[in-house]
């Protein structure tokens, strides 16, 4: 579906048009959910975080100054919601799932060709990305997937630009390491 500029929907929502907010959600739900997933590391929590964040965005849409990008504002809400929930959860339970990647290593080692199928490749890449730390995952996703600038990532996360550069540097190293670990060097080259 081809979406229009965010401001088009925002103005309609502010006039009380709820279906326009549904379109805004449809437009941004993918990356919003992906960002939440980078921090929450599981689908149920990520969905709840994204949902909460969209509700917050709806309730405070009137205060959104349309000078900045809606996506930047929304991702900031996502990030803050996810971080506050993650911290809460982290206090409740220290046992963070460490190795969901073990299965795919098995698959890769048993039959390397299988991973060349798109679905499998996607699964392996997702798992490798999942190995990144929360902040690294967010910075890498915003930088590489959403093509946000360092300045925009600063605005979303509240980190300094030097912090973000460090996160990106670590993230790059880690993602290559994880992929190599899963697929072996020669398969990485084929990707």
- The answer to whether residue 179 forms part of the interface with other proteins (CB under 8 A) is yes
Contacts of 125 (CB under 8 A, 6+ apart): 179
Structure tokens at 184: 């072996």
Residue with token string 């992929």 = 179
- The answer to whether residue 108 forms part of the interface with other proteins (CB under 8 A) is no
- The answer to whether residue 132 forms part of the interface with other proteins (CB under 8 A) is no
Q: Choose one: 104-112, 148-156, 159-167, 174-182; the region binding other proteins (CB under 8 A).
A: 174-182
Q: How far apart are CA 27 and CA 120, in angstroms?
A: 26
- The answer to whether residue 37 forms part of the interface with other proteins (CB under 8 A) is yes
Q: How far apart are CA 82 and CA 87, in angstroms?
A: 8
Q: For residues 34 and 81, which CB has a smaller minimum distance to other proteins in the complex?
A: 34
- The answer to whether residue 55 forms part of the interface with other proteins (CB under 8 A) is yes
Structure tokens at 116: 């060349």
148 vs 29, 36, 132, 139, 168, CA distance in Å? 17, 16, 18, 9, 12
The binding site for other proteins (CB under 8 A) comprises: 18, 21-22, 25-26, 29-31, 33-34, 37, 43, 46-47, 50-51, 54-55, 58-59, 121-122, 125-126, 128-129, 140-141, 144-145, 172, 175-176, 179, 191
């Amino acid at each position: 579906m081809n979406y229009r500029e965010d401001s088009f929907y925002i103005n309609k929502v502010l006039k009380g048009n709820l279906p326009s907010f549904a379109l805004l959600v449809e437009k941004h739900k993918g990356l919003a959910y992906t960002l939440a997933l980078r921090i929450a590391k599981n689908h149920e929590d990520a969905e709840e975080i994204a949902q909460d964040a969209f509700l917050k965005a709806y309730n405070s849409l009137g205060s959104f100054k349309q000078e900045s990008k809606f996506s930047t504002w929304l991702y900031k809400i996502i990030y803050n919601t996810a971080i506050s929930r993650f911290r809460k959860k982290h206090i409740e339970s220290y046992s963070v799932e460490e190795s969901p990647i073990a299965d795919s290593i098995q698959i890769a080692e048993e039959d390397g060709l299988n991973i060349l199928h798109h679905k499998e490749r996607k699964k392996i890449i997702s798992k490798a990305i999942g190995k990144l730390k929360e902040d690294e995952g967010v910075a890498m996703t915003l930088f590489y997937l959403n093509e946000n600038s360092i300045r925009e990532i600063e605005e979303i996360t509240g980190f300094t630009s030097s912090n973000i550069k460090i996160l990106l540097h670590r993230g790059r190293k880690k993602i290559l390491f994880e992929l190599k670990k899963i697929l072996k060097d020669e398969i990485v080259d084929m990707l």
